[in-house]
Amino acid sequence: MTQSQDAPLLEVKDLRVEISTKAGSFFPVNGHSFSVRSGETLGIVGESGSGKSMTAMSLVRLLPKHAARITQGSIKLNGRELLSLSEAEMRKVRGSEIAMILQDPQTSLNPAFTAGQQISEALRLHSPGPRSTLRARAIDALRKVKVAAPEHRVDNYPSELSGGMRQRVVGAIAISCEPKIIIADEPTTSLDVTVQAQYLRLLSELQQETGMGIIFITHDFGIVANLCHKIVVMYFGRIVESGTVERIFARPAHPYTEALIGAVPKLRGHKGRLRTIEGQPPIPTEPLSGCPFAPRCEKADNRCFNELPPTVDADGDGEHLASCWRVLEQ
C-alpha cells in the first residue's frame, strides 16, 4: 500500500446517475463529490426520495438495471477506479471491500436459509477457506456482533430470530469479510430506540477495532450528530451542504439543513411531534430552473427561483461547502 495515511479510502468525484423513464430522464445523483478516510464515518442525510439510497447503490454499482446508469464521475477505492472494473471484478469488491447493511432487518435476510448459511456464503465467496471452517467463522462473526449463544443462532432461520437479532446477523454478514468500507443504509429505522442505540454503539466499536470507514445513510440528524465525523446533506439529487459534524451543527449554511436540524426532537428518544418541512420536492422529470428547494424555502427570493446556486465554500477553508445564494451573499 503506497498511499499515505491521509489519502482518502474512498473518493467520489462528480458522480452522476441518470434515470430514464417514458416521461423523460433525470438525475437522482447529480454531481456528488465526497470522500471517506479509514476510521471515519460519513453521514449522508436527506429526506426520503432525495437520492441517498441511489448514491449508496451507485457506490457498489448496483443500480436498477435498464432504468438507471452512472453517466459521469469517478469512484476510487484505495486509489482504484471502481467505475472501470468489469462486473466480475466488481463482484469481488462487493461484500469484501465494500459491505452494506440494508434498511430493513425484517426482510433483508433470506427466509429460506439459516443465519449461518447466509454468513458463510459471503465468506466462501471472498475469503475462501476449507469448508469445515466456514461454520466456525460464521459463529465467530456472530460473536463479533455480540449475538448471544452464536453456536445455536447460527443454525436458526430468520423467522426464528428477533428483529434486533436479525439486524445483528446482517451486521455479521457485513463485517465477516473485514471490509474497508461499510455502507449502512438507514440500518436502524425499524428498530426500537434501545436496540437502535445498542446497535449504533456496536458499529462504532467495530469501527475502532478494524479502522474501517463507514458511510451512514439516514434522515435522522440526531443519529448523525452522535455517530458521524462528516456530513453530506442531500436534497433532490444534489449535495446541498457538506462538512464536518461540528461545523454544520454549529453553523448550518443551507436553509434545508437548518430545517432538518430543526426537525430533530430536543429530547432524544422522546416521542414528541416532529417539526416537518412544508411542501413537496419538485417532480424530477419536469424542467427546473433555479434552486430546487426554493419553493419550500422561507428565505427564497427571485434569484433563487431562476438561477441554480453554485457550490461555495461557506467558511473559506474548503471544509464546509454549500449551494445557496444566501451563503454567497454573506
Partner 1 sequence: MLLYLTRRIASSLFALLVISVIVFLLSHLSGSPVDALLPDDATQEQVDSFIREWGLDKPLWQQYLTFLGNALQGDFGTSLKWPGEDAMGFVLDRMPATLKLGGLAILISVVIALPLGIAAAVYKGSPIDSLAQVFALLGQSMPNFWLGIILIWVFSVWLGWLPTSGTGTFAHSILPAIAIAWFQVSALARLTRSSMLEVLDAEYIKLARVKGVSETQVIWKHALRNAAVVPLTYFGILAASILTGSVVIETVFSWPGMGWVAIEAIRGRDFPVVQAVIIAYAVIYMLSNLVVDLLYVVVDPRIRHG
Partner 2 sequence: MAETSPNAPIAPTFWSKASDLPLIPIGLLLIVFIIPAFFAQWIAPHDPYVPNLGARLQPPVFFGGTWEYALGTDRLGRDILSRILHGAWYVLAVSMIGIAVGVVVGTTLGLVAGYARGWFDGLVMRLVDISLALPAMLLALALAAAIGASFLSVVVVVGFALWAYFARQVRAEVLLLRNSDFVARSQVAGASHVRILFRHILPNVTNTVVVLATLQVGIAIMLDASLSFLGIGIPRPTPTWGLLVSDGRDFIATDWWISFFPGLAILLTVMSANMLGDWLRERLDPRQRQI
Give 109 or 294: the residue with its C-beta nearer to partner 1: 109
- The span of 72-80, 89-97, 279-287, 320-328 binding partner 1 (CB under 8 A) equals 89-97
169 binds partner 1 (CB under 8 A): no
Closer to partner 1 at the Cβ: 111 or 272?
111
- Show the CA angle centred on residue 315, arms to residues 314 and 321, nearest 5°: 40
Residue 77 partner contact from partner 1, partner 2, none using kind-dependent CB cut-offs of 5 to 8 Å: none
Give yes or no for residue 170 binding partner 1 (CB under 8 A): yes
> Considering the rule CB under 8 A, would residue 281 count as an interface residue with partner 2?
yes
Q: Does residue 22 belong to the site contacting partner 1 (CB under 8 A)? A: no
What is the torsional sign of CA 223, 57, 169, 106? positive
Among 9, 11, 15, 28, binds partner 2 (CB under 8 A): 28
Partner that binds at residue 28, options partner 1, partner 2, none, CB closer than 5 to 8 Å by kind: partner 2
Using rule CB under 8 A, residue 237 touches partner 2: yes
Options 58-66, 220-228, 260-268, 318-326: segment touching partner 1 (CB under 8 A): 58-66
Contact status: 157 vs partner 1 (CB under 8 A): yes
Q: Is 21 in the site for partner 2 (CB under 8 A)?
A: yes
Binding partner at 236 among partner 2, partner 1, none, C-beta below 5 to 8 Å by kind: partner 2
Q: Which of 11, 12, 40, 51 binds partner 2 (CB under 8 A)?
A: 51
19: partner contacted, choices partner 1, partner 2, none (Cβ within 5-8 A by kind)? partner 2
- Among 23, 148, 149, 328, contact with partner 2 (rule: CB under 8 A): 23
Distance CA 60, CA 95 (A): 9
Q: Which of residues 91-130 bind partner 1 (CB under 8 A)?
A: 91-96, 99-100, 102-104, 107-113, 121-122, 125-126
In our burial notation (b when 16+ CB lie closer than 10 A, e otherwise), range 40-49 reads bbbbbbbbeb
Specify the residue, 18 or 155, whose C-beta has the smaller distance to partner 2: 18
Smaller CB separation from partner 2, 21 or 276: 21
Residue 189 in contact with partner 1, rule: CB under 8 A: no
CA angle, residues 306, 231, 179, in degrees to nearest 5: 130
CA distance 199 to 213: 17
Determine, following the binding rule CB under 8 A, whether residue 67 of this chain makes contact with partner 2.
yes
Task: Give the interface size with partner 1 as a residue count (CB under 8 A).
Answer: 30
Which CB sits closer to partner 1, 30 or 167?
A: 167
User: What is the total count of residues that contact partner 2 (CB under 8 A)?
Assistant: 23
Q: HEC states along the chain?
A: CCCCCCCCCEEEEEEEEEEEECCEEEEEEEEEEEEECCCCEEEEECCCCCCHHHHHHHHCCCCCCCCEEEEEEEEEECCEEHHHCCHHHHHHHECCCEEEECCCCCCCCCCCCCHHHHHHHHHHHHCCCCHHHHHHHHHHHHHHCCCCCHHHHCCCCHHHCCHHHHHHHHHHHHHCCCCCEEEEECCCCCCCHHHHHHHHHHHHHHHHHHCCEEEEEECCHHHHHHHCCEEEEEECCEEEEEEEHHHHHHCCCCHHHHHHHHHCCCCCCCCCCCCCCCCCCCCCCCCCCCCCCHHHCCCCCHHHHHCCCCEEECCCCCCEEEECHHHHHC
Residues binding partner 2 (CB under 8 A)? 19, 21-23, 28, 48-54, 57, 64, 67, 185, 236-237, 280-281, 283-285
